[in-house]
């Protein structure tokens, strides 16, 4: 389980030197719509289902307070708690009372938690395409230590975030699907505090 979460958090690092893709007029319009939608999210909460590379299924609740803050409360018996305070991410094992920390900028969550995105100009974005009822965005990033990609699925029309899949450097996917999503909810800052012992 710990490997699944770490793969999901570390599959993408900060973008390496790359140039933004050349987009068609339709793709540019789609990227503008996705950017505007993601930038409009200030708070969000709901449920999630995570499917790991070996078919493991976990569920829980998530909370977003932008910019930069997210919390994943996994349903017991999974002892995992993931919190980003806008600077770093901590992955807690509440049963063992341990934590592993990473910089937020080194994770794919940074893309979802920014409130000033311009995906059309991003060197991370590699494709945007349509399938029935969906708009699918693919991004990649790499540095000397980490490579991977993320595919984000939105409803279309209607533009709502529904799912993302992260494929790590070993080619192993982790998919997170969202449900019962609410935006514009009141969330306390204290829910996103990382214990820096």
Residue recorded with tokens 């934590």: 99
Confidence tier at 142 by pLDDT (50, 70, 90): very low
Residue recorded with tokens 């991410």: 89
Whether the pLDDT of residue 193 is over 50: the answer is yes
Whether the pLDDT of residue 143 is over 70: the answer is no
CA angle 169, 132, 20 (to 5 degrees): 45
CA distances in angstroms from 180 to 105, 117, 153, 174, 196, listed in the order given: 28, 25, 16, 20, 32
Phi then psi for 173, rounded to 5 degrees?
A: -90, 145
Higher pLDDT, 61 or 170: 61
CA distances in angstroms from 119 to 48, 112, 123, 170, listed in the order given: 25, 11, 8, 26
Query: What residue ranges define each of the domains in the chain, with the CATH number in brackets?
Result: 2-178 (2.50.20.10)
Quote the pLDDT of residue 2. 46
Phi then psi for 28, rounded to 5 degrees?
A: -60, -45
């Amino acid at each position: 389980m710990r490997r699944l979460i770490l793969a999901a958090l570390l599959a993408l690092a900060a973008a390496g030197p790359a140039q933004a893709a050349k987009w068609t007029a339709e793709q540019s319009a789609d990227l503008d719509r996705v950017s505007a939608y993601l930038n409009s999210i200030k708070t969000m909460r709901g449920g999630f289902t995570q499917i790991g590379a070996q078919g493991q299924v976990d569920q829980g609740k998530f909370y977003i307070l932008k910019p930069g803050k997210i919390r994943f409360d996994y349903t017991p018996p999974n002892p995992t708690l993931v919190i980003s305070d806008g600077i770093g991410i901590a992955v807690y094992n509440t049963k063992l009372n341990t934590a592993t920390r990473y910089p937020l900028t080194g994770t794919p969550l940074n893309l979802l938690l920014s409130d000033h995105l311009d995906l059309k100009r991003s060197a991370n974005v590699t494709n945007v395409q349509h399938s029935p009822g969906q708009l699918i965005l693919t991004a990649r990033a790499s540095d000397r230590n980490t490579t991977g990609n993320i595919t984000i699925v939105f409803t279309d029309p209607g533009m709502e975030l529904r799912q993302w899949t992260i494929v790590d450097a070993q080619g192993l996917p982790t998919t997170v699907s969202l449900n019962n999503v609410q935006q514009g909810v009141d969330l306390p800052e204290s829910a996103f505090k990382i214990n820096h012992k």
